[in-house]
């Protein structure tokens, strides 16, 4: 990593036309006991001065996930140094300094919420020499020390392609899952993502993570509806599997506002089943594929079902499918090295 700052993306995406969502996007609000759990989760986030990707990214599943006591925490600030055209998170060139109290606040929040699995996601911090890797490591370690019974998942940035920063982050890490999203098929990098991001750079991070820590489950995610073809989704799945990725999620892109990238299409729910089968045929250990699926949706359940083929828990939610591999353990990356 050179630390050289590249210019922010200058072009603006075409305004997203107002379109009626298909009927399968209807969700229900929690009530009764579930509403109480939702309120408790929201209060814990606010009291500990935390940010969640559930709120910042305007996730359509926030009520369902929070009502079940699950939440995805966003650390290192609430604004990103990149300006991807699909993302609802704000963009800033020079973010405020990292909060040294954030690891303890995060640990306290997780401990107070009675979670089984916590997802920690991050904004890009291209302003920092290590892209924030050491801070992420401190947050993960703090949660693990306070709540050792909770399995941990990091939804990480690409760390600007810095493999040394990645090695530091993963050294003796208590993580169960290392996730990084490629977001879209390779052809659409320039259309969908910031100029500093690419499918190739994302794949290199995922591949190296598996090489460094074959015991940690690796995971990635693809959005549908940003201009790709069905065949390109199949090809992208193949590239992810070749990089040793264990889990993959596939879900519908929804434009956060009229200023964001327009939605290109709404595939029928049955098409997601076909992609799930393709992923399993390629050898993924597990896949969540459906219109409302997001990279962190029911993440803990997906991990538990991946580790235990006899897990009887069900994946709730309309049009959500989860396929289970015959061999649930993470698949180490094959290399030509002796």
pTM (2 d.p.): 0.81
Q: Is the pLDDT of residue 27 over 60?
A: no
Nearest to 29 by CA among 58, 65, 53, 64: 64
Which residues have C-beta within 8 Å of that of residue 33, sequence separation ≥ 6? none
* pLDDT score of 66: 53
**What is the mean predicted confidence (pLDDT) over 255-272?**
92
* pLDDT score of 223: 96
Q: Is the pLDDT of residue 169 over 60?
A: yes
Residue 153 near residue 120 (C-beta atoms within 8 A): yes
Q: How far is CA 105 from CA 214, 254, 266, 316, in A?
A: 30, 31, 39, 30
Instruction: Give the mean pLDDT of the chain.
Output: 82
**Tokens read off for 208:** 């190296």
Least confident segment among 12-21, 93-102, 220-229: 12-21
In three-state secondary structure terms, 312 is: coil
Q: Provide the CA 278 distance to its chain's centre, in angstroms.
A: 21
Quick one: pLDDT band at residue 249, thresholds 50, 70, 90? very high
Residue 215 near residue 244 (C-beta atoms within 8 A): no
Which residues have C-beta within 8 Å of that of residue 208, sequence separation ≥ 6? 163, 166, 167
Least confident segment among 85-89, 97-101, 152-156: 85-89
Nearest to 27 by CA among 312, 305, 290: 290
Nearest to 227 by CA among 107, 88, 85: 85
Q: What is the DSSP string of 115-155?
A: -SEEEEEE---TTSTTTTHHHHHHHHHHHHHH-TTSEEEEE
More confident residue, 293 or 142: 142
Least confident segment among 17-26, 88-97, 320-329: 320-329
Q: Is the pLDDT of residue 193 over 90?
A: yes
Q: Is the pLDDT of residue 14 over 50?
A: yes
**What is the mean predicted confidence (pLDDT) over 215-220?**
97
Exposure of 221 in the CB half-sphere (CA atoms within 13 A): 24
H or E, element range at 311: none
Domain 31-324 class, CATH top level: alpha beta
* pLDDT score of 327: 42
Own/partner pairs, 308-315, CB within 8 angstroms, 24+ separation: 315/288
Domain boundaries, the chain: 31-324
Q: Provide the CA 314 distance to its chain's centre, in angstroms.
A: 21
* pLDDT score of 107: 95
| Separation of alpha carbons 172 and 32, rounded Å | 42
Residue 89 near residue 80 (C-beta atoms within 8 A): yes
* pLDDT score of 115: 83
| Separation of alpha carbons 307 and 16, rounded Å | 40
| Separation of alpha carbons 37 and 301, rounded Å | 18
């Amino acid at each position: 990593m050179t630390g050289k700052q590249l210019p922010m993306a200058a072009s603006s995406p075409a305004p997203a036309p107002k379109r009626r969502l298909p009927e399968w996007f209807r969700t229900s609000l929690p009530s009764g006991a579930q509403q109480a759990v939702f309120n408790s989760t929201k209060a814990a986030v606010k009291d500990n001065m935390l940010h969640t990707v559930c709120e910042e990214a305007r996730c359509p599943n926030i009520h369902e996930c929070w009502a079940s006591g699950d939440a995805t925490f966003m650390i290192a600030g609430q604004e990103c140094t990149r300006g991807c055209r699909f993302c609802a998170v704000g963009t800033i060139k020079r973010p405020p300094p990292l909060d040294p109290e954030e690891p303890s606040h995060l640990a306290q929040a997780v401990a107070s919420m009675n979670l089984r699995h916590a997802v920690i996601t991050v904004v890009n911090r291209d302003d920092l020499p290590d892209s924030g890797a050491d801070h992420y490591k401190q947050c993960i370690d703090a949660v693990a020390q306070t709540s050792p019974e909770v399995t941990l998942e990091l939804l990480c940035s690409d760390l600007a392609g810095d493999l040394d920063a990645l090695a530091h982050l993963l050294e003796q890490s208590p993580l169960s899952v290392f996730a990084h999203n490629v977001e879209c098929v390779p052809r659409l990098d320039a259309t969908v993502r910031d100029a500093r991001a690419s499918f190739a750079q994302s794949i290199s991070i995922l591949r190296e993570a598996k090489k460094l820590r074959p015991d940690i489950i690796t995971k990635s995610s693809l959005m549908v509806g940003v201009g790709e073809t069905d065949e390109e989704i199949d090809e992208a799945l193949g590239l992810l599997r070749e990089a040793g990725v264990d889990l993959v999620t596939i879900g519908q892109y929804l434009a956060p506002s009229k200023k964001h990238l327009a939605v290109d299409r709404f595939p029928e729910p049955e098409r997601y089943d076909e992609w799930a089968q393709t992923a399993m045929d390629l050898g993924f250990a597990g896949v969540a594929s459906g219109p409302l699926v997001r990279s962190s949706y029911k993440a803990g359940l997906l991990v538990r079902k991946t580790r235990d083929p006899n897990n009887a828990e069900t994946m709730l939610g309309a049009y959500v499918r989860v396929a289970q591999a015959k061999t649930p353990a993470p698949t180490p990356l094959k290399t030509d090295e002796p």
